[in-house]
């Protein structure tokens, strides 16, 4: 039973365009969401978060949108850069739980 | 240290052998987690330590897996009688506040042959 799903295993985007990575969750008790970026042979690094009391959080080129009714969040990267090429994981937690459930990741490739 | 340190970075072991993986969390972080990432899979929760509380072992896949955390700092994940399906990247993370995400180490890539 996958509580956090990233249905697109990979995505290719041209440099300068927008990258949109999607994530769906099933547990309505989740109230805090994270995005991590992972380069090969490195551990995941924290990118951006959003609390369920918000529907948008922006940090530079990265914006996370949360649609609670649809149990859906998305990460927008604008403009995309070749250095953004990595695997992106979304994670959901909170609601009294201390562990985050991670999705399977989306491999983003930004083409120069 | 400045980050979460894991050793070894790579480990190749024969099926049936025991292995120990080490994690040195960020100083002062009271929460420590072990996750693993198998090929093509997401990050699978294994175990969680918080201060002096009893650990949450609910994610350990079998009784061949165990972990301890000594003195509230360094943690060791032990896999006994390794099997090929144990091959994965084992990631350790620590957090000062378990509500707001964690800092991961670079992981240990375990290959069981």
How sure is the predictor about B113, in pLDDT bands with cuts at 50, 70 and 90? very high
Answer whether A51 touches B (CB < 8 Å).
no
How sure is the predictor about B34, in pLDDT bands with cuts at 50, 70 and 90? very high
Chain A residue numbers with beta carbons less than 8 Å from the beta carbon of B100 are 32, 49
Answer whether A105 touches B (CB < 8 Å).
yes
A100: burial class by Cβ within 10 Å (0-12, 13-18, 19+)? buried
Residue A21 C-alpha, separation from nearest chain B C-alpha, in angstroms:
15
How sure is the predictor about B4, in pLDDT bands with cuts at 50, 70 and 90? very high
Query: Per the structure block, which two tokens stand in for A105?
Result: 């990741």
Residue A7 C-alpha, separation from nearest chain B C-alpha, in angstroms:
12
Most confident of A25-39, A65-79, A96-110: A65-79
Nearest to A36 by CA among A111, A110, A93, A95: A93
Q: What percent of chain B has pLDDT over 90?
A: 72
- Classified as helix, coil or strand, B77 is strand
DSSP annotation string for A7-29: --SEEEEETTS-EEEEEEE--TT
How sure is the predictor about B26, in pLDDT bands with cuts at 50, 70 and 90? very high
Closest-approach residue (CA) in chain B for A38: B106
Instruction: Write down the pLDDT at residue B102.
Output: 83
Segment B6-33 mean pLDDT: 95
Instruction: Write down the pLDDT at residue A40.
Output: 87
Instruction: Write down the pLDDT at residue B108.
Output: 96
Whether pLDDT at B101 is above 80: no
A9-56: pLDDT as tens digits: 999 999 999 999 999 999 988 989 999 999 988 899 999 999 999 999
Buried b (16+ CB within 10 A) or exposed e, A61-72: ebbbbbeeeebe
Whether pLDDT at A1 is above 80: no
What distance, in Å, lies between the first and last C-alpha atoms of chain B? Answer: 33
Chain A residue numbers with beta carbons less than 8 Å from the beta carbon of B8 are none
Closest-approach residue (CA) in chain A for B43: A102
How sure is the predictor about B71, in pLDDT bands with cuts at 50, 70 and 90? confident
Which residues, in sequence order, are bridge partners of residue B108?
Answer: B90
Residue B101 C-alpha, separation from nearest chain A C-alpha, in angstroms:
7
Residue A104 C-alpha, separation from nearest chain B C-alpha, in angstroms:
4
CA atoms of B7 and B28, how far apart (whole Å): 20
Query: Per the structure block, which two tokens stand in for A60?
Result: 């530079």
Whether pLDDT at A96 is above 80: no
CB contact under 8 A, A45 and B33: no
B41-70: pLDDT as tens digits: 788 999 999 888 889 999 999 999 999 998
Alpha helices (runs of H) in A7-88, residue ranges in sequence order: none
Q: Is-contact A94 A40, C-beta < 8 A?
A: no
């Amino acid at each position: 039973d996958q509580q956090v799903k990233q249905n697109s295993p990979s995505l290719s985007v041209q440099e300068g365009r927008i990258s949109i990575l999607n994530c769906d969750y099933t547990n309505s008790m989740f109230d805090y969401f994270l995005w991590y970026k992972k380069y090969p042979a490195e551990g995941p690094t924290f990118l951006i978060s959003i609390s369920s009391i918000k529907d948008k959080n922006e940090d530079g080129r990265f914006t996370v949108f949360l649609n609670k009714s649809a149990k859906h969040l998305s990460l927008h990267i604008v403009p995309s850069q070749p250095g953004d090429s990595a695997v992106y994981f979304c994670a959901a937690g909170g609601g009294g739980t201390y562990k985050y459930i991670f999705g399977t990741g989306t491999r983003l490739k930004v083409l120069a | 240290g400045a980050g979460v340190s894991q050793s070894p970075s790579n480990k190749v072991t024969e099926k049936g052998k025991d292995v120990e993986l080490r994690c040195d969390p960020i100083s002062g972080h009271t929460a420590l987690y072990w996750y693993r990432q198998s090929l093509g899979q997401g990050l699978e929760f294994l175990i969680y330590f918080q201060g002096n509380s009893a650990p949450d072992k609910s994610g350990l896949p079998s009784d061949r897996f165990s972990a301890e955390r000594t003195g509230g700092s360094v943690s060791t994940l032990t896999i006994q009688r390794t099997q090929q399906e144990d091959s994965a990247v084992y990631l350790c993370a620590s957090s000062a506040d378990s509500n707001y995400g964690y800092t991961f180490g670079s992981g240990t890539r375990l290959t069981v042959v």
